[in-house]
Amino acid sequence: MTETTSTVTHWGPFLVDSDGATVTGVRGHPSDPDPSPIGQALTAVTELRVAQPSIRRSWLEGGPGTATGLRGREPFVVVDWDEALDIVAAELARVKGTHGNQAIYGGSYGWGSAGRFHQPSNQIYRFLRQYGGYTDARGTYSASAAENIVPHVLGMGYNTAVGQQTAWSVIAEHTELFVGFGSLRLSNAQVTFGGSGPHHTREWLHKCGHVRFVSIGPLADDEADFVDSRWLPIRPGTDVALMAALIHTLVIDGAADEAFLTSHCHGWGRLRDYLLGRSDGQAKNAAWAASITGVDATTIVELARQMASKRTMISVSLSIQRTDHGEQPYWMAVALAAALGQIGLPGGGIAFGFGANGNTGAGQVRKRIPGPSVPLQPAEMPVISVSRVTELLEGPGRTYHFNGMTGTFPDIKLVYWIGGNPFHHHQDLNRLGRAWQRPETIVVHEPFWNPMAKRADIVLPATTPLERNDLGGAETLLIAMQATLPPQGQARNDYDIFRGLAERLGFGERHSEGRTADEWIRHLYERFEQDNDYAPPFDRFWRDGVVAHADMAPMGHNPQVFLSEFRADPAANPLGTPSGLIELYSEVIAAFDYDDCPPHPTWLEPYERLGTDAAERHPLHLVSNQPRTRLHSQYDHATISRETKVAGREPARLHPADAAARDIADGDVIRIFNDRGACLAGAVLSDALMRGVVQLSTGAWYDPDETGMCKHGNPNVLTRDKGTSKLAQGPSAHTCLVQVERFDGEPPPVTAFDPPTFAERAPVAAPDP
């Protein structure tokens, strides 16, 4: 008998069919006009599972710190749940008692579930903070540079700004020219952190028939094929130089809105002096930018004049801030929009997150669903930028700088990680692998035998969202996420795991508040019901499976305009910056005195790029964008992802001319390499990317050979692990040069989807007579 339940994922709401043992079908939710194909990955939910608590053999036999270099290379031993929880609780108590709470690093990346209660980051942070704290991380790999610069420039958090973005309905009616620095990919726009609702971006793009789009980036097919778009290829990582030259042209032409720049901005005079070359002797004119960007000077001037003559929206994707000095593109883009004088006007101004988040342009802030209370961190606990994990592990005692803070890396003895896979999203994975050997113990909750689980000491089998109940916030909908399957093997949900540990560590009642997981879900819904008159009683909601938020319009319809109130009256509606204005010069950043983040937007040479000496040895720029058939590395083992592989490896696109110069044919196995590492991939020839670029999406499960070469095609063996600057310390993965060659001979087999080996427990020696 087929049973159908509903669920919410980060890539949308779905109906899931099952026979009680496996998923037999996945369909888009009736409310969703454009379901993401990634939903089909859920059919692989029962495959490659961690079935029982498992402990690395050397750690089990020798204790913490034993043979850490064997992580990922030796068998596991299966233990029962009681023993596993006893061991983890004892290890937490040992580390806390001997080294202090700061010696524990709590790692999570919230994409593990779109369910409100079972979100992994909430679960681990709640547990560890109740236990006294831990070394914490702030920010995201996706948007660290933007998250740290936007508050200095606009006086609001980046996510707050995204929630206030101009609505699609306004763009469709008023925008004449939509200039995108980075992509406007539909596949990216189908993903929303915390749960995606019905997808309407495709529909809105169809309604933008009169809008002229300009796509500035290395890939021609980042825009939907039905959009009226002009592709402007640019050397990756040089967007700031182009933006500066566009502003310079506006100033020279007398087209810059000096009145707006004076009344609504702080520091325009200093930035203007920089752009005109008065402060450093170099005018940031079109000829200067052409030599950096590869964009013809005439094209730059024409684009600036076109922007000044039309209602223009400047859109910046997340990709352009995941570069060396990644704070600068967002800051300079705001300056460009300010120079046009259209910030706060319908259809004009600055846009964040379009083509990167599914709910951008919704015209409203998504409704918050109550979650379990998470205590504040003790003030003395260290905080690092989320992408500085390797530096944290390899550098205890070293000083670090982070957005005005100065700290010292603690000596991490125990890493506790749930809901994430750093061996996917972190940079320079071989360096991370070496640093990963330093902690004495690594504990992981994980459903699948992915690269993270294989490199842990203690692996506790966790359920997936399809094996537990939850509340799913799908933007305009609240969906009852009803378990589709029973837990696989001996898997438990994260809450039950932490509840068992809390009981052993003496704070079980405080952690559970006397509730089971399902009782928590009912409790959280009843809190939601109290605040929303339209919400039915819990039992009816659970029976019906969905409730529509009566106070929310369909995605994109509410005619919201970003910063319209500020534009209308900046004195009455000041921004949260020190000046109350848009800060084109920041005294706060000036006081930090960072050598890699000046106090106004600036073109700064990255550590490597095309058109420089570094490109003589590694003449191709690596674009490691998001894949179309999975979210990050999730379900890479599923059919929908594996069907895209070439020769069993991640596909890598090259321009035909670059391939011909290297005697590479379509379908060849190729080796991509630089001084940081190497990987194999399957060649796909395409003229949809500019010459001098190779595109290898992220997310192939890391599968290194004995030399560290990834046999499967993970691009993060090639990227440099360097912070964007001392301000954000974000990842700079998109600043990466490589070389490519055809791999001759028999390529090594891909073992990424092989489970680890298991060993019998060593017999306990009999005591001496």
Residue with tokens 């700290």: 407
Sign of the four-CA dihedral 452, 453, 454, 457: positive
Q: How far is CA 1 from CA 18, 22, 30, 127, 480, in A?
A: 8, 12, 22, 39, 21
Strand (E) or helix (H) holding 685:
strand 678-685
Other CB atoms within 10 A of residue 376 CB: 8
Q: Which two tokens stand for residue 690?
A: 């500019």
DSSP state letter for 68:
G
Query: What is the C-alpha to C-alpha distance for residues 622 and 614, in angstroms, rounded to an integer?
Result: 13
DSSP state letter for 389:
H
Strand (E) or helix (H) holding 739:
strand 737-742
Return the biggest CA–CA distance within the chain.
Answer: 97
Residue with tokens 């970003």: 562
Task: Return the HEC string of 580-639.
Answer: CCEECCCHHHHHHCCCCCCCCCCCCCCCCCCCCCHHHHCCEEEECCCCCCCCCCCCCCCH
Active site residue 231: no
Query: What is the C-alpha to C-alpha distance for residues 150 and 477, in angstroms, rounded to an integer?
Result: 29
- Spatial contact of 190 and 37, defined as CB atoms under 8 Å apart: no
Active site residue 585: no
From 109, 268, 288, 520, active-site residue: 109
3-state class percentages of the chain: helix first, strand second, coil last, to nearest 5: 30, 20, 50
Query: What is the C-alpha to C-alpha distance for residues 181 and 333, in angstroms, rounded to an integer?
Result: 9
From 59, 105, 111, 495, active-site residue: 111
- Spatial contact of 201 and 21, defined as CB atoms under 8 Å apart: no
Query: What is the C-alpha to C-alpha distance for residues 89 and 511, in angstroms, rounded to an integer?
Result: 15
Cα 198 to chain centroid distance, Å, stands at 21
Query: What is the C-alpha to C-alpha distance for residues 90 and 236, in angstroms, rounded to an integer?
Result: 50
Specify burial of residue 270 (Cβ count, 10 A radius: 0-12, 13-18, 19+): middle
Nearest C-alpha neighbor of 193 from the set 222, 227, 163: 163
Q: How far is CA 192 from CA 66, 187, 360, 623, in A?
A: 41, 11, 9, 22
Residues acting as catalytic residues: 109, 111
